[in-house]
Amino acid sequence: MTPVSSARGPAATWTLYFAPGTCSLAPHILLREAGLHADLVEVDIASRRTAAGDNYTQVNPRGYVPALRCPDGRLLTENVAVCDWIAQQSPQLAPATAWERTSQLEWLAFASTELHKPFIRYFFTGSEAERSELDASLRERFVQVARRLAGEHLAGARYGAADALMYVMLRWARNAGLAVPDTLAAYRDRIEARAAVQAALQHEGQA
């Protein structure tokens, strides 16, 4: 596992734009799992400025994270694509079969649309009625995940991109005091114990 740098250096070939504790934690973890040399550029979402004061919208006009600059200069901005692309660069993370690749995309899409988006509303709504409704909805969706989790990992026999993003969703659930099935709590804890996850959490001040 190769360290990921927070400042630009000659060995770094990828650049991840991230905000601590957000969904960009998933590709941050995956870069470390893959052992890819990468620069980490912190973004303040509210001001849309990087830690160096640069205008982040000049990188990603949408203003949100993550954004991944690839070694050839191309940019990816949507988390499903970013996580999937990082996984494809690593023999350890790449799905073993075409079916597992499709299953990975299924889980990444589910986490992004059915968990991530409701969580954003949950965290920022001023309505207790809406928060209560979202709480119930999120709990039910986590029950659905638990029913589908047949082994140690979501999309195949080995750890992959879908696991990293689902870990972030489960971390948010724990931080919000939202109960999840015991099988998912154990699954979350197994992922959290991984060295790459701990390194990413420490870098982002989330450990």
pLDDT at residue 128 greater than cutoff 50: yes
The first and second tokens of residue 125, run together, are 């709504």
pLDDT of residue 71: 94
pLDDT of 5 over the 90 cut? no
Instruction: Tell me, yes or no, whether 73 and 161 share the same domain.
Output: no
Chain-centroid distance, C-alpha 43? 15
The domain total for the chain is 2
Res. 11 pLDDT band, cuts 50 70 90: low
Q: Is residue 87 part of a domain?
A: yes
Domain that holds residue 48: 14-92+196-203
Question: Are residues 57 and 33 located together in one domain of the fold?
Answer: yes
Residue 50 lies in a domain: yes
Per residue in 135-185, pLDDT (tens digit) is: 999 999 999 999 999 999 999 899 999 999 999 999 999 999 999 999 999
CATH number at residue 41: 3.40.30.10
What's the predicted TM-score (pTM) here? Answer: 0.94
Instruction: Tokens for 40, please give them.
Output: 């980490």
Domain presence at residue 8: no
The token duo for 43 is 């973004």
Closest CA to 153 of 188, 205, 182, 123: 188
Residue 99 has pLDDT above 50, yes or no: yes
- Rounded Cα distance between 148 and 129, Å, is 29
- Give me the pLDDT at residue 153, please: 96
pLDDT tens track for 37-88: 999 999 999 999 999 999 999 999 999 999 999 999 999 999 999 999 999 9
Averaged pLDDT for residues 20-47: 97
Q: Give the whole-angstrom CA distance, residue 178 versus residue 196.
A: 25
Within this chain, do residues 85 and 131 fall inside the same structural domain, yes or no?
no
Question: How high is the pLDDT of residue 15?
Answer: 97
Roughly how many angstroms between the first and final C-alpha of the chain, as a whole number? 19
% pLDDT > 70, the chain? 94
Residues in the chain: 207
Residues 116 and 150 in one domain: yes
Q: Is residue 162 part of a domain?
A: yes
The answer on 53 and 110 residing in a single domain is no
Query: By the 8 A CB rule, do 155 and 93 touch?
Result: no
Kindly report the CATH number assigned to the domain that includes residue 171: 1.20.1050.10
Judging by DSSP bridges, how do beta strands 67-69 and 38-44 pair with one another?
A: unpaired
Residue 77 and residue 127 share a domain:
no
* Residue 126 pLDDT class (50, 70, 90 cuts): very high
When pLDDT is averaged across residues 129-136 and rounded to a whole number, the result is 96
Give the tokens for residue 3. Answer: 């360290």
182 shares a domain with 129: yes
H/E element, 67: strand 67-69
190 and 103, same structural domain? Answer: yes
42: in domain: yes
One domain for residues 144 and 181: yes
